[in-house]
Amino acid sequence: MTTALRRLRNYIDGEFRDAADGRTTEVVNPETGEAYATAPLSGAADVDTAMAAAEAAFPAWRDLIPAERQKVLLKVADRFEERAEELIAAESENCGKPIALVRSEEIPPMVDQIRFFAGAARMLEGRSAGEYMDGFTSIIRREPVGVCAQVAPWNYPMMMAVWKFAPALAAGNTVVLKPSDTTPASTVLIAEIIGGVLDELGHSRGVFNVVCGDRETGRLMVEHKTPAMASITGSVRAGMQVAESASKDLKRVHLELGGKAPVVVFEDTDIPKAVEDIATAGYFNAGQDCTAATRVLVQESIHDEFVAALAKAASETKTGPVDDEDVLYGPLNNANQLAQVKGFIERLPAHAKIEAGGEQVGEKGYFFAPTVVSGLKQDDEIVQHEVFGPVITVQSFADEKQAVEWANGVEYALASSVWTKDHARAMRMSKALDFGCVWINTHIPLVAEMPHGGFKKSGYGKDLSAYGFDDYTRIKHVMTSLDG
């Protein structure tokens, strides 16, 4: 007997709908490599309908006092907590994430982030009113930008959806959100939750819409005449395409793209503690994280000791089924990503050495062993390009100057970390490292109050924090004559 596939649908103007032309794609469970659901492969008609719904809902949502938008987001956060097990199950099945880790590491911060932006809705700041010309008073209005076209990635589909819709809705915008074609399940459930809250509180459900589909669907959204802003978390290539498409009508663009985080370890660091934390930050979520600690630079005096300890840590790191509470990570998200990671290993230069892992694990699904590669040079492919898998590379540097040169010597500039007991050195490095975030003696913690975003080919704009909230607003100058 063949088990019927679950049917996911778009959420447009408060209704669950199939694609207008009936097209679908299969959704695969990466733990088994088998399809378990279908999702709409949305086209131009679906995008038009969603944009029209968001546009129609915008004036009333924009004109709400901030306290009313705050009520919506606070209730959404409450619903996330109440329906946490449903969200966990959807995310785990769709992404292959360990259930225990989704419960402990994703649900609490997502709820906190929604509540943070609920508060931010009532904290719009601007320069004080004043007279800058005799007889006139100037004030600043901070307003929502309009309809936002948002595209979320497959590595954290649920959390990245929160990072997008929460600040956008808090600021008074309406949203059309597209999840990745490989991970639509939790986003569709989020639409059900938000739609229910909007309906309960008497607001148009067109405020928030979800359109499933592929890259072509995303392109149609970005090029559509309605959105005032396009926001994407994804690859550098995708970000460039979005920026090019948006330039045709000068849409505002918010890009959070790839990363190649340097992890700079000096000889005075606590090696066992550093290895433990770096291995966790490198292998968490199977290394499928733009900020993952996967490019380690170690001072040459401790290189051999560090590599041996890291290889041991890798051998003790466990990957496996989502219901195993002892695993740190599950499978890679999809077959293409598994092939990409394997390709990096297969193309390693002769001078590279695999210290641990380096192979696929299991007979089904997309599991890959925790891997450590040493002996690498600065211009090696695996050093310069994002692997997005459970692979940590190690290079040996001579001094601080070389460490800075190699750390900055990539096209990405999202996150970095420095490991040292020397405070002055840590301060010098935090200034010299050309990355949007510098962690000192830690790697990967994020908080709602602080910004996340990079430079160079890692994109522009910020997620989280008041800076991320500001990105979803526009500034208007109003000048009044005092003559009456």
Q: Which positions are catalytic?
A: 256, 290
CA dist 225 and 51 (Å) reads: 9
CA distances in angstroms from 376 to 242, 352, 371, 397, listed in the order given: 33, 5, 14, 11
CB contact burial 49-79 (16+ within 10 A = b; e otherwise): bbbbbbbebbeebbebebeebbbbbbbbbeb
Alpha helices by DSSP H, 121-184: 157-170
Residue with tokens 């938008």: 69
Q: Where are the alpha helices (DSSP H) in 268-365?
A: 271-283, 303-316, 335-346
- For 53, phi then psi, to 5°, come to -65, -45
| Residue 29 bridge partners (DSSP) | 34
- 189-225 in b/e form (b: 16+ CB < 10 A) is bbbebbbbbbeeeebbbbbbbbbbbbeebbbbbbbbe
Q: Name which of 222, 266, 60, 87 is nearest 144 in CA terms.
A: 60
Inter-residue contact 372 to 394 (CB < 8 Å): yes
Q: Which residues contact 192 (CB under 8 A, 6 or more apart)?
A: 11, 16
Helix (H, G, I), strand (E, B) or coil at 213: coil
Q: Who's near 330: CB < 8 A, 6+ residues apart?
A: 30, 31, 95, 96, 97, 98, 286, 319, 320, 321, 322, 367
